[in-house]
A and B are shown apart, each in its own frame.
Chain A
Amino acid sequence: MGQRIALATRDGAPFSAWHEPAREARRGGVVMLHAIWGVTPHIRELSGRLAEQGYEVIAPSLIDAADADFPDHDTQPEILDARMEMGRLTGWGVSALPRVQTAIEALEGPVFAMGFCYGGTTAWLAACRCEGLSAVSAFYGGDIAAYKDETPKTPTILHFGKTDSMIPLADVEAIRETHPDLPIYLYEAGHAFVAPNGHHPDSAHLALLRTFQLFQRSGGGKGEA
């Protein structure tokens, strides 16, 4: 079973994370990057599902203080403004990259990253700036377009919903123009189509399938042990 753990960045700044040991023959490690709402029940549950497939998962808290509780709810609309402001103040994950790097280093290779919404942008930034990742899958990262001139160091795929009211398709096209060879998948869905609040089952299933295929092609084949 998963549990909350305490970690610290190279600079010594403490933060918390959710940790799931692999519950199948080990495929590798996954850094799971949460949406604007933090390490929600959904993120912890999804981490558990990956653990059942053989991934050891660390889901670092990207925005909140080391002693803050993990949320009890998947969304809290009444604090959306405040969460979005925290998103802006942290550059949608720029200031969390030391935490992401720490999570990568806490896992045995190969290490993959995946992230949603806020964490989707963080996943893109991690692909471009962090060391030690074997592949990255970014789901509906709203500010990837703002960082489109950076280049991933590792195989990366992006997922967007065609009717996402927060991410204009023009942004997706701008990313595609800058990176014509980058796999960008569009789904018949809106924002947050993997999460409970925007869940679109077919799209979520397909996007996760593509993510697992990428990870398996990038070193996450099942070990013999």
Chain B
Amino acid sequence: MAKIITLTAAHDGFGFSALHAEPEGPRPQESRRGGVIVIQEIFGLDQYVHEDVARWSARGFEVLAPSMFDRGEKGFTALHDEAGFARGKELALANGPDNAMGDIQACIDFLKDRGPVFLVGYCYGGTMAWLAAARCEGLSAAASYYGGGVAGMAKFDLKAPVIVHLGATDPHIPAEEVKAAIWTAHPEVPVHVYAASGHGFNNDGRPDSDLADAELARQRTVEFFAEHGAA
């Protein structure tokens, strides 16, 4: 079960909340595989983030999911509709990338003494995952799912290896164009396009989500993390 804890960003001293879950399983302390930071979509710490935190915990990882827009609205969550998107976007823009990176760095620092630290982000979080791989210190690897800003930041130098997952039918993010942009700058980055899936396909039960694609992407992510230090 995830608990809510408070962490402090070093750059401005702001205290933000985060879901925190220990690795689960018969002997969690002996089987801990590493830490995973889950970065939310634009909609906040909604049911899909809670499900993802539980999933990573069940796979043997200690998990943190920071509430990314706490400076604007503490504990923000929204429905996946037009109004929710508009409010989420407003909060994301007001928060800006510097605060986001500061919060992610605080999460890394919280986890780093207990083993390798990984990061996985979805949609808004997918863009932040790419940026964190470029800017933050101490990540062993990151997974970026359908981030709208990745193509624009494709040329950034990366401090940590990244795996990218895109949905072929995503109306917001042209998967083949994004893949081409990434491979022009970083031919070593694995980019997977999932034929049966659209935007947000890691959210089980959403219209654009194909369960087999979602599971394959999770499997690839876990294997990628294992290649980069996960026990």
Contacts and interface: CB of A to CB of B under 8 A. Distances in A.
Given A11-B14, A13-B12, A13-B99, A95 B153 contact: no
Contacts of B98: 13, 65, 95
Looking at B95, B98, B156, the one whose CB has the most chain A CB atoms below 10 A away is B98
A82 B11 contact: no
B154 to A, nearest CB: 7
- Say what secondary structure dominates the interface of chain B: helix
Contacts of B149: 85, 88-89
A82 B99 contact: no
Contacts of A84: 152
Interface in B1-43: 11-14
B121 to A, nearest CB: 13
A90 B71 contact: no
A27 B93 CA distance: 34
B171 interface: no
Contacts of B152: 81-82, 84-85, 88
Contact of B93 (A12, A78, A90): A90
A184 interface: no
A86 B97 contact: yes
How many A residues touch the partner, as a band? 20 to 34
Given A82-B152, A82-B155, A89 B97 contact: yes
Contacts of A90: 93, 96-97
Contacts of B226: none
A167 to B, nearest CB: 19
A182 interface: no
A91 B95 CA distance: 10
B13 A96 contact: no
Interface in B154-172: 154-156
B153 to A, nearest CB: 5
B94 interface: yes
Given A84-B152, A85-B149, A89-B149, A12 B13 contact: yes
A65 B12 CA distance: 12
B90 to A, nearest CB: 8
Interface string B73-102: 000000000000000000001111111000
B127 interface: yes
A79 interface: yes
Contacts of A14: 11-12
A94 B97 contact: no
A65 B102 CA distance: 11
A32 to B, nearest CB: 20
Contacts of A12: 12-14
Nearest to A8: B12
B11 A13 contact: yes
Contacts of B71: 11
B211 to A, nearest CB: 32
Contact of B156 (A82, A91, A94, A95): A82
8 contacts: A12-B13, A78-B155, A81-B155, A88-B152, A90-B93, A90-B97, A91-B94, A94-B94
Interface of B: 11-14, 71, 93-99, 127, 131, 149, 151-156
Given A81-B153, A89-B97, 20 more contacts: A13-B11, A13-B12, A13-B98, A66-B11, A81-B154, A82-B155, A85-B152, A86-B97, A89-B93, A89-B127, A89-B131, A89-B149, A90-B97, A95-B94, A95-B95, A95-B96, A95-B97, A95-B98, A96-B96, A97-B94
Question: Lowest 4 A-B CB distances belong to which pairs?
Answer: A95-B96, A85-B152, A91-B93, A13-B12
